[in-house]
A and B are shown apart, each in its own frame.
Chain A
């Protein structure tokens, strides 16, 4: 009897256990939000939009290699010691291949951004409740998401050509693979469609700006998309609209990059950072100054900077500044230094490029000045406050000038061009021959926007990349003995980069760009 009772109790206990076990087996992390239950409220979507801006920074950390150092504006300070940076060098020397880790980083960052916008757009579509999500929130959310998606694709298509078009949230291994690349035209159609939608949905720019996408920044980038496609007639009204939005040039070119002038009237779009310990800081100057075991001479604090020596202004770009161009001193600085006993370069001071005496025997190294702001103090390593400029009003003026010139309105182009030249302290241009003026505008863009990731794309879209870079390569090889004979083999294939190797391994349908 007793044992029967015992068995009954056990059986009951087992039944009770079985019934409650399902709850015990459903565990979700308490330290993270579950994606299945997120994206319900307006706040959820607003937070998701914020997150979709973050990959802008991840791309910006690498974009200057393929977009500026690839061009004749910058080179690298050859470091025979730390060969870990050979991947960067190969981009500059046109020796990069499909295993290049830098272009792959840009690819990954941009697609991460695309995925985040896809999630927002897909999930928002499923919510019809106008109580949870008001039309205003919905428009703002879709507008920002589409502007970001278009922006990411625009960078990708210019770097890599044909692309896999991911337009929906990745939910499993099946839709994680878009197994073919769409034509460059289809990618552009998608970009234009997204920007056009964003333009309709987003508000006008308000000053002071907060730095989110708005009608001003979307019009500018969409205009550049058309300009890149040589559809000047479509670009002109967009650019013209921006001139009426309240943007203006700052009086002094050097002030544009000062920390207290972030999101100024001249700024149309910039990638934003904030120094400090909450993970929002930038670190550009560390890449741009030299590789050195002691940064004290540059930053005022000792630190072994092993990530520097990149994106160094070339002699070619310095020579491109006309005499008395105020922008040279604002854009390029010179470090003076010495070699220590170990053969390492130690910078002693930073000075103006205008004050360097020709027969000074100390070692001089050029450095970008736009992100060099000693006033911020460099107390925490790799932690700076500088934003990255994407579009400035002078850029817009020059693009509009270019459009006018290309549509036989050189007379309309000159005043725009001369506003930029005037600020730089240069006499106005008077050339009205469209071909000659095109060169003048291109030259103006080079120096006005130097080191802001425009030069390479400008060379490519104006079909100048091959002759300009071939000539530049010959000069470089004459100067630097370490360049291999096969470097600077600039040809059509080299106008875009290889699809990253890992990507083609896990998604064989992508194929590879010609020549890689």
Chain B
């Protein structure tokens, strides 16, 4: 509505051409004289605001106006003697008379923050009017947090939003939990909605953090129910940067940082001297323990005969890591008139991994445009292509993460072996005598050749017509089109754990080329009516939508190559291929009514009905209603008016939300090809291989939320509190079946769970004025309990190996499950006294006889830790002094346990891996019993000690200084082309305070499957990043 009527008339004509537009800004800044008075100046927003843009400056009584830029500067032409009105959301308006002064500098006082606008489901609301539980984060406040994935910016920002970096693999680490784990294997990630499009598939990390203007985290049913069908894990709404009326700005951001792996938490394995000593003893014991007749007793290998010849040897963990750079450059141009709003961002992102030869590069572009051809019509077109190149960070035959992959493998490589040979070339292996084969993982990094290119086209278009005053009809078409192309080659030098030492025959070289195309298309149509009559305000909205996701996939693999020069299938001798397609669809109708009386009593009701292709024939539809209410008590007559407590609102909600995160087609029993040979001829066969469940239906969460919001001390202190209680029924997961049925599991609505918690948030402006200091603190407490579960009342924890969790009635979801380690059978007396396992011997590990049946076996395993944090918290402190600003973000969690499954290698006593230092204090004889915690090495007795037990379980409590950023803003008047420059330096993941001995206390290697939570399987380390950056506004 406000228009630059008086601005340079050349502007519209040049708008489309970037360079000229640029020029124009310079020209207009240079101050062409006009008939009327030109006033410039600066609007300051008080302490603590780095971004000073967005203050509207208008001539009272006239149409149009301007807004300030990031430095707070404005320039407006006005008749002499006119009154300028300065308004800014969240601040009290001010006026100033134009009376000949060249410059007007104003400081706005912060006003009722409850008037701030927040993006909510299908619209925006004033914070004051919201009756649900919603957390908002402005991207401006976290611009110094370097991020491969946008989630890295949300650390410690919203109570009840748990953000963890499960792994340090560039671009793949972040996972979220809103109010704890709501689902099981059905997926716990909140629904991510970008400008109205709910994303599908594994593409969250393709959303460019630089494009984002704000996040809204929707937590309770009142807030999420309009996305009801998929909202049981909460919703994160992302709004990308939009142009603003009356403001043309160009800004550039850049940073460059160096990432390295902190010393804390590195594996505490033996050095060369310690390991050779251990191995020498190991062979001595082998000869002593085994009464050899056949075969002849072994001799101690030459490698270990004289341990004193070795020093520290090779630190393989350090050898595979390096200091790696990361950098981003982005430019945004944004402009707006009464006809067009436009914002365009181009970004380049480049992150090398701390493992050699790994990294991610991304080129992304976003253009958001809104056209307003006539008063009542708005047409929008947002388009965002991005191209991401994943270099060696996608799973290949030799993975980075995971048990016995590169990180884990380097941890247990022999310190006696070396990275380079005497001629400076890579050695081929990293094991020494008697150990299991390990390649030189440093060399494997170097020859890795696994690349994935991702083309992502996220776009949406909308038409919004104001049919009559207050009635908007809106239709949108959103599309996310993704093309991924994956190419991997494993040549003659490739080797993994326990494979032949390279080089291997050319016949074994192999390559995989695969690609997939997916489309996620959403059409949404809404009618929205708002009206006011007297003290009543009413908003009514109704709509329907249809979404379809489809993906087709193809893969070719080839083996046998002429030489390593041809990495493509073209060169292979044997090829095989495969292709497939999958799809899901969702049809929904929804409605909402928001009502308020006197801006004091609020009532909101929503309903959504969804049908999904993923569910059984008669169970496709789910209905998800919610109701919420709010009461601003502080506006009541009886409430004492004071600045001490200026605002008090209570609110509550109850509603149903759903989840359909289960595989496609699980409702149907499916056959697959099962061929057999008759008389030498392969004959086509088909068998039912997947059991379907035609009764499968929506998982539904019933959530109650009660909240309170208050503002104290002249709005310097705000406080909010929420209590929630969520009961999830028909939880989607796999019911485990006895294999006598011919199947191992079936998709099933397996049970009922309860989750509850308390969330607090305090925002405080501790100091205002020359030195300002503000603090945001939030803390969430949560817990969960399994109330009912499909027979026999638990899932998981039945396997001897690689089965670390059990979800059982009466317990928390996904508790760790294993033996309780009670020490050793130190001597014959112990051996006679305590229950034994089939392979027990004097000096072997003694597990607790949990079921007290007098023997130790797999039935003696029990619950040994809760993987879900009981408390998560974050604290952000902002300081400013003159043009300096300092921002410190910390976050943490307590109450969860981590199982370091890599200990099955690092506590392996069979002489095949390098192992934890304390393994040297093992039991060797009754006279030499070690520290009483590490058993003997006698071959047939060692298995029990390396199955899941309490030795592997650690507290996951941590406090992390996530980000420290110190900035300085130059507001150089003499540089006429540049309005402001801010430079900053920051440290990310500055320090972890934790007792977890592993590298990453946030680890969770099965991040989206709560029934397998809390595992550290040898994760890609999380890095500390030191960086410098600049924000430049033109």
Partner-B contacts on A (CB < 8 A): 2-3, 6-7, 10, 13-14, 17-18, 21-22, 24-36, 38, 44, 47-54, 78, 80-83, 86, 89-90, 93, 95-99, 101, 107-108, 111-112, 114-116, 118-119, 164, 166, 170-173, 175-178, 208-212, 262-263, 272-274, 277-280, 293-294, 301-304, 306, 341-343, 363, 379-381, 478-484, 486, 500-503, 505-508, 510
Cα(A153)–Cα(B604), bound, Å: 63
The answer to whether B792 and A505 have CB atoms under 8 Å apart is yes
The answer to whether A502 and B798 have CB atoms under 8 Å apart is yes
A111-B839 contact in complex given A27-B584, A343-B298, C-beta closer than 8 Å = no
Which of chain B's residues 294-321 have a Cβ closer than 8 Å to chain A?
294-295, 298, 301-302
B589 within 8 A of A: yes
A112's nearest neighbour on chain B, judged by CB, is: B742
B505 within 8 A of A: yes
**Neighbour of B676 across the interface among A280, A380, A506, CB < 8 A:** A280
B943's nearest neighbour on chain A, judged by CB, is: A86
A52-B741 contact in complex given A14-B544, A484-B940, A506-B792, C-beta closer than 8 Å = no
**Neighbour of B432 across the interface among A211, A342, A363, CB < 8 A:** A342
Cα(A34)–Cα(B669), bound, Å: 6
Which of chain B's residues 720-741 have a Cβ closer than 8 Å to chain A?
735-741
CB contacts (< 8 Å) of A478 on chain B: these are 293
Which of chain B's residues 498-557 have a Cβ closer than 8 Å to chain A?
498-501, 504-505, 507-508, 525, 527, 544, 546, 548
The answer to whether B678 and A3 have CB atoms under 8 Å apart is no
A343-B301 contact in complex given A35-B688, A262-B680, C-beta closer than 8 Å = yes
The answer to whether B685 and A51 have CB atoms under 8 Å apart is yes
Which of chain B's residues 735-767 have a Cβ closer than 8 Å to chain A?
735-744, 746, 748
Smallest CB separation, A488 vs chain B (Å): 12
The answer to whether B677 and A277 have CB atoms under 8 Å apart is no
**Contact flags (1/0) for B605-632 with A, using CB distance below 8 Å?**
0000001110001001000000000000
B881 within 8 A of A: no
A53-B670 contact in complex given A83-B943, A166-B740, C-beta closer than 8 Å = no
Smallest CB separation, B674 vs chain A (Å): 4
Stretch at the interface among B223-231, B345-353, B433-441: B433-441
CB contacts (< 8 Å) of B473 on chain A: these are 6, 10
CB contacts (< 8 Å) of A280 on chain B: these are 675-677, 682
Cα(A262)–Cα(B943), bound, Å: 41
CB contacts (< 8 Å) of A3 on chain B: these are 467-468, 471
The answer to whether A379 and B507 have CB atoms under 8 Å apart is yes
**Neighbour of A111 across the interface among B467, B742, B800, CB < 8 A:** B742
The answer to whether A97 and B857 have CB atoms under 8 Å apart is yes
The answer to whether B286 and A29 have CB atoms under 8 Å apart is no
The answer to whether A481 and B741 have CB atoms under 8 Å apart is no
The answer to whether A177 and B737 have CB atoms under 8 Å apart is yes
B9 within 8 A of A: no
B29 within 8 A of A: no
Partner-A contacts on B (CB < 8 A): 286, 289-295, 298, 301-302, 431-437, 465, 467-468, 471, 473, 498-501, 504-505, 507-508, 525, 527, 544, 546, 548, 559, 574, 576, 579-587, 589, 611-613, 617, 620, 664-665, 668-672, 674-680, 682-688, 690-693, 695, 735-744, 746, 748, 790-792, 794, 798-801, 838-839, 841, 857-859, 908, 910-912, 938-943
Cα(A157)–Cα(B66), bound, Å: 87
Cα(A166)–Cα(B381), bound, Å: 60
Nearest first, the 7 A-B pairs at minimum CB distance are A115-B742, A50-B685, A51-B687, A481-B290, A35-B669, A304-B500, A176-B741
Cα(A248)–Cα(B962), bound, Å: 79
Smallest CB separation, A339 vs chain B (Å): 9
Interface majority SS on A: helix, strand, loop or mixed? Answer: loop
CB contacts (< 8 Å) of A13 on chain B: these are 525
19 A–B pairs (Cβ distance < 8 Å), ordered by A: A24-B548, A24-B587, A24-B613, A27-B585, A27-B613, A32-B670, A47-B684, A54-B687, A81-B911, A95-B940, A115-B741, A172-B695, A176-B738, A211-B678, A279-B675, A342-B431, A343-B301, A481-B293, A507-B738
A173-B912 contact in complex given A272-B676, A481-B293, A483-B940, C-beta closer than 8 Å = no
B288's nearest neighbour on chain A, judged by CB, is: A481
Cα(A96)–Cα(B302), bound, Å: 36
CB contacts (< 8 Å) of B857 on chain A: these are 97-99
A97-B669 contact in complex given A50-B674, A277-B574, C-beta closer than 8 Å = no
Cα(A400)–Cα(B525), bound, Å: 80
Most buried by A among B432, B584, B739: B739
The answer to whether A173 and B742 have CB atoms under 8 Å apart is no
CB contacts (< 8 Å) of A277 on chain B: these are 574, 576
**Neighbour of A293 across the interface among B465, B501, B838, CB < 8 A:** B501
The answer to whether A211 and B685 have CB atoms under 8 Å apart is no
Cα(A328)–Cα(B843), bound, Å: 43
The answer to whether B582 and A29 have CB atoms under 8 Å apart is yes
A292's nearest neighbour on chain B, judged by CB, is: B500
CB contacts (< 8 Å) of A99 on chain B: these are 800, 857-858
Smallest CB separation, B591 vs chain A (Å): 11
Smallest CB separation, A85 vs chain B (Å): 10
A6's nearest neighbour on chain B, judged by CB, is: B467
The answer to whether B741 and A95 have CB atoms under 8 Å apart is no
CB contacts (< 8 Å) of B584 on chain A: these are 27
> How many contacting A-B pairs (Cβ < 8 A)?
322
Cα(A173)–Cα(B795), bound, Å: 14
The answer to whether B688 and A116 have CB atoms under 8 Å apart is yes
**Neighbour of A178 across the interface among B434, B582, B740, CB < 8 A:** B740
A32-B671 contact in complex given A50-B683, A274-B682, A481-B290, C-beta closer than 8 Å = yes
The answer to whether B679 and A170 have CB atoms under 8 Å apart is no
The answer to whether A274 and B677 have CB atoms under 8 Å apart is yes
CB contacts (< 8 Å) of B617 on chain A: these are 26
The answer to whether A27 and B677 have CB atoms under 8 Å apart is no
CB contacts (< 8 Å) of A484 on chain B: these are 839, 841, 940-941
The answer to whether B546 and A21 have CB atoms under 8 Å apart is yes
CB contacts (< 8 Å) of B675 on chain A: these are 50, 54, 278-280
The answer to whether B939 and A25 have CB atoms under 8 Å apart is no
The answer to whether B739 and A503 have CB atoms under 8 Å apart is yes
CB contacts (< 8 Å) of B746 on chain A: these are 172-173, 176
Most buried by A among B580, B737, B794: B737
The answer to whether A44 and B686 have CB atoms under 8 Å apart is yes
CB contacts (< 8 Å) of B940 on chain A: these are 86, 89, 93, 95, 482-484
Most buried by B among A18, A27, A34, A507: A27
The answer to whether A17 and B679 have CB atoms under 8 Å apart is no
The answer to whether A164 and B912 have CB atoms under 8 Å apart is no
CB contacts (< 8 Å) of A164 on chain B: these are 738, 740
The answer to whether B292 and A481 have CB atoms under 8 Å apart is yes
The answer to whether B693 and A107 have CB atoms under 8 Å apart is no
The answer to whether A212 and B678 have CB atoms under 8 Å apart is yes
CB contacts (< 8 Å) of B738 on chain A: these are 164, 176-177, 502-503, 506-507, 510
Cα(A81)–Cα(B693), bound, Å: 45
**Neighbour of A303 across the interface among B467, B500, B791, CB < 8 A:** B500
**Neighbour of B739 across the interface among A17, A112, A209, CB < 8 A:** A112
Smallest CB separation, B293 vs chain A (Å): 6
Most buried by B among A24, A83, A173: A173
Cα(A101)–Cα(B799), bound, Å: 8
The answer to whether B679 and A48 have CB atoms under 8 Å apart is no
CB contacts (< 8 Å) of B583 on chain A: these are 27
The answer to whether A54 and B471 have CB atoms under 8 Å apart is no
Smallest CB separation, B240 vs chain A (Å): 28
Cα(A293)–Cα(B439), bound, Å: 12
Most buried by A among B505, B674, B738: B738
CB contacts (< 8 Å) of A500 on chain B: these are 739
The answer to whether A108 and B800 have CB atoms under 8 Å apart is no
The answer to whether B792 and A34 have CB atoms under 8 Å apart is no
The answer to whether A33 and B293 have CB atoms under 8 Å apart is no
The answer to whether B939 and A293 have CB atoms under 8 Å apart is no
CB contacts (< 8 Å) of B585 on chain A: these are 24-25, 27
The answer to whether B292 and A34 have CB atoms under 8 Å apart is no
Smallest CB separation, A44 vs chain B (Å): 7
